[in-house]
A and B are shown apart, each in its own frame.
Chain A
């Protein structure tokens, strides 16, 4: 394992993504459209709905975006990577790339939601910190499931069926943290939830790194 190589793979992924401008633009536009539809159908979004909508949009937009992460390149390209990289380096780079993507998506969605229906968050540090922690866990699960679907038949229904129940614990914790940061509920033990999110992150990323080299061989 080599940090420089991980960085190189990461930069390569980002460069490829930026080169195909429709991908990033598409996701941003998707987020904007969904937020606008929500805004028009709800008319007036109260803080409670705001937090729920935020995570529902994040869940589905993120799922859409990350499924592709192992499907977008050709089989031959993977064969080439296989000869070049250590699987561990590849998965770490890909995981960080996906994480960065989720963070960006999160910022875009929060921006549009705030634009249309206000920014109800009272404790921004908790809001962004907790979300960053939780999004990491979600990225790990989405990455894992995208590896599974890519090495299987590449079936997107299977992807959502596998991924959604797995992310639910993280999403429930995130909803709670967000609700606290919006002051919908007050909870002095919110740090416990943050630790829990961090624990889930560590546990799942450990398993991902352990399992990926096995799955990668196909």
Chain B
């Protein structure tokens, strides 16, 4: 039993992430609002399409169009066609105080089953030629109250991301685990150069191989994710291409390891190369992408792992996923290492 507990922990944690990450529902969200613009002083009926909503089942729907942190318009009439479709009527005010001709309004919906959810810039209010540049009647200052907050676990709803937000547990966690494994590999490479103990070379190679596997899996999951959010498997994006280069560097490492039969020479060369490659990787993955604009989160002003993108329900699976993938990676590496050790033993016996 000794030494097996962390393997079990890794497997159980990963199972937890797999099951939880796929079965926990998304929070309700608004996918479509039509019409998306209207003129001041008119009446408008909005057809709202929701996702994971319970409009008909809840029955007590309320809707607002919010101008700023104070003013909003409550609905005048509201009917739910079914759980995902809602018709809300609004009487648009005569005017609004703004330098612009058009004001973006945020749609807020609340009911007892879904709780409150919003769609920013859902509706654009355009000023009629006759209307004034003042906040006229129709705007209410204390309408937004009495929201429901249902309990239960749900992932945040993000437009564009939609259900693919679950990929955070796999794509992002794979990169974290990959870096931890690479660090382990470089640590053993340095250890090898210090001690000349061939076992450190075996370990270094084992960790680096699994890290490379994780890198490839990370690229694949990222590519699939990109297909559903950016509508393409691969883009000119700097971060993607830099990562591809990093993978090439490590594939070259594998090639280098097969290039010579002499065990000590191979160990020395590959240890030196893996240290050099790791140092070269730092500007590649961490510095250069930050200088250039990019679609990828974490670059050019796009948020990554911050704000609302990683809320507490996501954290509940994201951090365990990193731990689980790292443990599984170490497990895989230890199998590779044990296999190599057996081979050495066998080679030097005969």
- Give Cα distance in the complex from A74 to B306, angstroms: 58
In contact, A165 and B288 (Cβ under 8 angstroms) = no
A204 contacts B by Cβ under 8 Å = yes
| Cross-chain pair count, CB within 8 angstroms | 78
Q: Given the interface contacts A166-B249, A211-B276, does A192 sit within 8 Å of B255 by beta carbon?
A: no
Q: Name which of A88-96, A111-119, A144-152 contacts chain B.
A: A144-152
- What are 13 A-B pairs at a CB distance below 8 A? A141-B280, A148-B272, A151-B268, A152-B259, A153-B260, A158-B256, A165-B246, A165-B249, A168-B284, A173-B288, A193-B291, A211-B275, A211-B276
B265 contacts A by Cβ under 8 Å = yes
B317 contacts A by Cβ under 8 Å = no
- Give Cα distance in the complex from A118 to B245, angstroms: 33
Chain A nearest CB, measured from B203 CB (Å): 18
In contact, B245 and A168 (Cβ under 8 angstroms) = yes
Q: Which residues of B contact A168 (CB under 8 A)?
A: 245, 284
Q: Which residues of A contact B287 (CB under 8 A)?
A: 196, 199
Q: Which one, A172, A189, A203, contacts B282 given CB within 8 A?
A: A203
Chain B nearest CB, measured from A152 CB (Å): 5
In contact, B280 and A169 (Cβ under 8 angstroms) = yes
Q: Closest B residue to A141 by CB, please name it.
A: B280
Q: Which residues of A contact B259 (CB under 8 A)?
A: 152-153, 155, 158
B279 contacts A by Cβ under 8 Å = yes
Query: Given A196-B291, A203-B282, A204-B276, 13 more contacts at CB 8 Å?
Result: A148-B269, A151-B265, A151-B268, A152-B260, A158-B256, A162-B252, A165-B252, A166-B280, A169-B280, A199-B287, A203-B283, A208-B276, A211-B275
Which residues of A, 114-166, contact B by the 8 Å Cβ criterion?
A: 141, 144, 148, 151-153, 155, 158, 161-162, 164-166
In contact, B269 and A151 (Cβ under 8 angstroms) = yes
Number of interface residues of B (CB under 8 A): 27
In contact, A162 and B256 (Cβ under 8 angstroms) = yes
B117 contacts A by Cβ under 8 Å = no
Q: Closest A residue to B280 by CB, please name it.
A: A166
Q: Which residues of B contact A172 (CB under 8 A)?
A: 288
Q: 0/1 per residue, B82-123, Cβ < 8 Å to A?
A: 000000000000000000000000000000000000000000
- Residues on B lying within 8 angstroms of A by beta carbon are 193, 242, 245-246, 248-249, 252, 255-256, 259-260, 265, 268-269, 272-273, 275-277, 279-280, 282-284, 287-288, 291
Q: Given the interface contacts A153-B260, A165-B249, A192-B291, does A218 sit within 8 Å of B255 by beta carbon?
A: no
Q: Which residues of A contact B288 (CB under 8 A)?
A: 169, 172-173, 196
Q: Given the interface contacts A162-B252, A165-B248, A214-B272, does A152 sit within 8 Å of B277 by beta carbon?
A: no
Chain A nearest CB, measured from B267 CB (Å): 11
Q: Which residues of B contact A199 (CB under 8 A)?
A: 283, 287
Q: Which one, A148, A164, A169, contacts B273 given CB within 8 A?
A: A148
- Give Cα distance in the complex from A153 to B256, angstroms: 10
A37 contacts B by Cβ under 8 Å = no
Chain B nearest CB, measured from A207 CB (Å): 5
Q: Closest B residue to A203 by CB, please name it.
A: B279
Q: Given the interface contacts A158-B256, A165-B252, A196-B287, does A215 sit within 8 Å of B282 by beta carbon?
A: no
Q: Which residues of A contact B277 (CB under 8 A)?
A: 166
In contact, B284 and A169 (Cβ under 8 angstroms) = yes
Q: Which residues of B contact A192 (CB under 8 A)?
A: 291
Q: Given the interface contacts A162-B273, A196-B287, does A207 sit within 8 Å of B279 by beta carbon?
A: yes
Q: Given the interface contacts A152-B256, A169-B245, A215-B268, does A196 sit within 8 Å of B275 by beta carbon?
A: no
In contact, B269 and A215 (Cβ under 8 angstroms) = yes
In contact, B272 and A215 (Cβ under 8 angstroms) = yes
- Give Cα distance in the complex from A192 to B292, angstroms: 11
Q: Closest B residue to A172 by CB, please name it.
A: B288
- Give Cα distance in the complex from A173 to B203, angstroms: 35
